[in-house]
Structure 1
Amino acid sequence: MSAFSSLQVLQGYLKVVSDRQQMIASNMANIDTPGYHTKDLNFQAAMKQVMNTEGEPRFEPASQEIVGLPERPDGNNVNIDRESMLLSQTQLQYSLGVQMVKSSLHTLYSAIKDGN
């Protein structure tokens, strides 16, 4: 895999993680909305879309309702503990992605600088 294609995959990875963070934040914002159901992004399916695109990595963020979560009497099923844990997880994933981009760019810079 060339440096450019790995950077494109990393770009797609960061987009997937960012979109998932937005969905989690939306869930948290709707914790008091009657009838609201928790939504999430199928991370593996989104990454498969990113990996299978040619050129610029793209994917359609398909939100899906999470089934099986207990509902409150108002019909809302957002669990703040679950969402907080997922938000922490996606923040770590994003930080990892940024570090990988930095590493790839450093490798590319070194190759250009040293003429290798």
Structure 2
Amino acid sequence: MIGELTPAALHAALSGLSQRQRVTADNIANINTPGFLAGRVEFESALGGALRSGETPQINGGTTARSLEPTNTNGNNVNLDAETLIATETGLRYQLALSALDGKYNSIRTALRTQ
């Protein structure tokens, strides 16, 4: 039971979401920095691919790439509305994954207590 993919997948998701939170915070901190290009974190496709093939997902936080969205006059492409939405969605997904992982560990603890 402990070797299931679920805890590994949830840990990988938490790692990717945590990386996304850091990159989003960096984007917002650099909203007025000339030439700064917003970062974007992608981990979902690698996580989904590993799960579809039955492999244990890697816990690496995903990949970060610079956004190719249009820039304003100072070469910066950070959009506060978009970053706020990403931060909110990421926070909610993080809470959901954390709750799922907590539930998984609670079920293991309960099973161990009843033995």
TM-score (normalizing by structure 2): 0.84
1:85 aligns with 2:81: no
Q: RMSD between aligned alpha carbons?
A: 2.1
- 1:54-77 Cα offsets, whole Å, 9 max, x none, are 4x833363211222x231110000
Structure 2 runs not aligned, ≥5 long? none
| Secondary structure, counterpart of 1:83 in structure 2 | helix
Q: 1:58 to 1:100 in 2, by over 3 A?
A: same
User: Do 2:28 and 2:80's aligned partners in 1 also have CA atoms closer than 8 Å?
Assistant: yes
1:101 aligns with 2:104: no
C-alpha displacement of 1:105: 0.8
TM alignment of 1:22-41, pairs within 5 A: 22-41=22-41
The equivalences for 1:39-50 within 5 A come to 39-48=39-48
User: Which residue number in structure 1 is paired with residue 65 of structure 2?
Assistant: 64
| Contiguous gaps of at least 5 residues in structure 1 | none
C-alpha contact (below 8 Å) 1:38/1:66 kept by paired residues: yes
Distance 1:19 1:44, change over 3 A: same
* Percent of paired sites with the same residue: 25
User: Where does structure 1 differ by over 4 angstroms across 4 or more consecutive aligned residues?
Assistant: 48-54
